[in-house]
Amino acid sequence: MQQLPNLHKSTIDLLKKGKNLLAFSGGIDSSALFFILKENDIDFDLAIVDYGLREQSKEEVIYAKELCLKYKKEFFLHTCSLSTSNFEHNARSERYDFFKKVINENSYTNLITAHQLNDKLEWFLMQLGRGSGLVEMLGMDEMQDRDDYNIIRPLLHVGRGKIQNFLDVNDILYFIDKSNSSSKYARNKIRHNYSNSFVEEFENGLVKSFEYLENDANLLLPKDETIIKSLFILKRETEDLRNIRQIDKVVKKMGILISKTQREEIIKTKDCVISDKIAIVFTPDYIFISPFVKSNMPKKFKELCRINKIPAKIRPYMYVENISLTSFS
């Protein structure tokens, strides 16, 4: 195919070793990524979510089915109906819950998404406007490990202009979601007023700058952590700013993007549950992070946890996952 965007070799190698699920929408980015993966001889199946808000979404689902039938891909569809209140947040949660279910039931190792350079800059500018730090502003990584799968974003270094050109030159069908032009979403305002024109003019320099920033962010983050299943034990730093940077990185691995309000709650309380899903507890020397679960525990187990100074919110997860006090030590 003509004008084929180049993927990083490390990304191609990782995808060829794993079992891959492509998050598909029928839009510019995912339609292009479908054929880019195919041209790089990367095997994958396809998952799509229909929120039922647009008549066009039915055509997108039909298109996805036809591609899977033609190129012999497994096809997974999730349909749902969500309130328009806080739609973007709820849609993201619904989407990733569906992807995780498909991944777990079918033993996929990688979820491939079609985020590209314009998306990365949009996120950067949104976080910049909210008063976020470097780790939050960078947000998207090309390779990001979750508890039980990896998120791979092969196009994160490629501008949308190159992606659309690839589609047009090769006469590949794609759909345009009209809601992307609605000014009621902050992301759309940033996209149309700032990021698209910036990427178009400064794409190469922007890619290089993000590489430098990501290297700097990695140097800022302490590396001292212990992981047992989905229990993370971090060495507590004297500065809360460094602590929250560590926490943010770990929680993102667990599938949650914490807000400014949640960060403030974590620092203030040092003992809380985020989004009803993740327990975060500080002790004088460590920070414990685990999925938040409730469970009846034997008195003997609770007493041993108390003696070993294991935080109360962490104990149920250890009990349910059969994490022994020996492995904890």
Query: What is the per-residue pLDDT across 268-277, written as a single tens digit (0 to 9) for each?
Result: 999 999 989 9
296 burial level (CB within 10 Å; 0-12, 13-18, 19+):
exposed
How high does pLDDT run on average in the chain?
90
Q: Does position 214 have pLDDT exceeding 60, yes or no? A: yes
Mean pLDDT of 272-284: 94
* pLDDT band, very low/low/confident/very high, at 192 (cuts 50, 70, 90): confident
- Checking if the pLDDT of 149 tops 60, the result is yes
Distance of CA 93 to the CA centre of its chain: 11
| Residue 327, pLDDT score | 64
* Predicted pLDDT at 178: 74
Per mean pLDDT, which range of 14-18, 169-173, 261-265 is the poorest? 261-265
User: How high is the pLDDT of residue 119?
Assistant: 94
Place of tokens 């990365």: 120
According to DSSP, the β-strands at 231-235 and 286-291 are antiparallel
Q: How many residues does the chain have?
A: 329
Residues 6+ apart with CB under 8 A from 9: none
Please write the tens of the pLDDT for every residue from 50-93.
Answer: 988 788 889 999 999 999 999 999 999 999 887 767 778 788 88
- Percentage of the chain with pLDDT > 70? 95
Average pLDDT of the residues in 238-261 = 86
Neighbours of 124 (CB within 10 A): 23
pTM of the prediction?
A: 0.80
Answer with the residue of higher pLDDT: 84 or 149.
Answer: 149
Does residue 329 carry a pLDDT above 60? no
The CA distance from 66 to 87, in Å, is: 28
Quote the pLDDT of residue 58: 92
Q: What CATH architecture applies to the domain 9-213?
A: 3-Layer(aba) Sandwich (3.40)
- pLDDT at residue 224 above 80? no
> What is the pLDDT, as a whole number, of residue 253?
80
Q: Which pLDDT does position 182 carry in this prediction?
A: 63
Q: Report long-range pairs for 122-130 (Cβ below 8 Å, ≥24 apart).
A: 122/187, 122/190, 122/191, 122/195, 125/190, 125/194, 125/195, 126/186, 126/187, 126/190, 130/260
**Beta-carbon neighbour count of residue 294 at 10 Å?**
7
- Higher per-residue pLDDT: 31 or 239: 31
Residue whose C-alpha is closest to residue 235's, from 284, 276, 173, 168: 284
Nearest CA to 47 out of 111, 130, 124 is that of: 111
Average pLDDT over residues 135-154: 86
For residue 122, the tally of other CB atoms under 10 A from its CB is: 23
- Quickly state the pLDDT bin for 8 (edges 50, 70, 90): very high
What CA–CA distance (Å, rounded) separates 167 from 179? 21
First CA to last CA distance, the chain:
55
Rounded Cα gap, residues 167 and 223, in angstroms: 42
pLDDT at 131 over 70: yes
Which tokens in the block code for residue 199? 């990427």
Supply the pLDDT for residue 38.
97
For the CA atoms of 47, 52, 54, 57, the dihedral, rounded to the nearest 10 degrees, stands at: 30
- The stretch 175-204 carries a mean pLDDT of 83
Q: Is the pLDDT of residue 181 over 70?
A: no
Q: What is the pLDDT of residues 95-104, one digit of tens each?
A: 999 999 999 9
In the chain, domain spans: 9-213, 225-328
